[in-house]
Homo-oligomer: A and B are copies of this chain.
C-alpha cells in the first residue's frame, strides 16, 4: 500500500470512528471505494472492494453501505431507472446531471446558493427538509452520436 493510500485509509478510519461506527477493514474498504468511484452502483463498489479484500461477501458491502448512509458519511441516489448509486460528497447541496443515453452521472454545484425555486410555492403542509435536483440530458459523448448509435448505446448500457 502506497503512502497516499495509507493516508486515505486512515482518513476513512477516522471518519468511521467519528461517526461511532466500529472500524472494520470491510467498512474502510467500502468507504474508500465510494470515495474513489463516485456514483458507483453496488456491484461496482463490490468489485472495487474485492480488489483489496477478495473474500468480502456482498452482504457485508450492503450492510456497510447502509450503515454509512445511516450516519451520513455517504449518500445514496437513485435516478429513475438506475440502480442505487453512492457518493462520498455529502452536505454541500450539489446536484446531478444524468445522461439519458449512457447513464453517466456528474456533479453540478448549486452556485446560486439558496435558490428561490428550491422553496416550493405551496408546501401542502409539508415540512421540507431538502430539495434534490436532477438534470436529464445527453452527455457530450452521446450528443455527437446519431440517433441509431444512441439507441444501441442505451440498449447495451441498460442491459449491463
Contact = CB atoms under 8 A, between A and B. Distances in A.
A2 interface: no
Interface of A is mostly: mixed
Contact of A133 (B78, B84, B108, B132): B132
B127 A136 contact: no
Oligomer: number of copies: 2
25 contacts: A78-B78, A78-B79, A80-B84, A97-B126, A99-B126, A106-B124, A106-B126, A108-B120, A108-B123, A115-B116, A118-B135, A120-B135, A124-B139, A126-B139, A126-B140, A126-B143, A127-B137, A127-B143, A128-B136, A128-B137, A129-B136, A129-B137, A130-B137, A132-B133, A132-B136
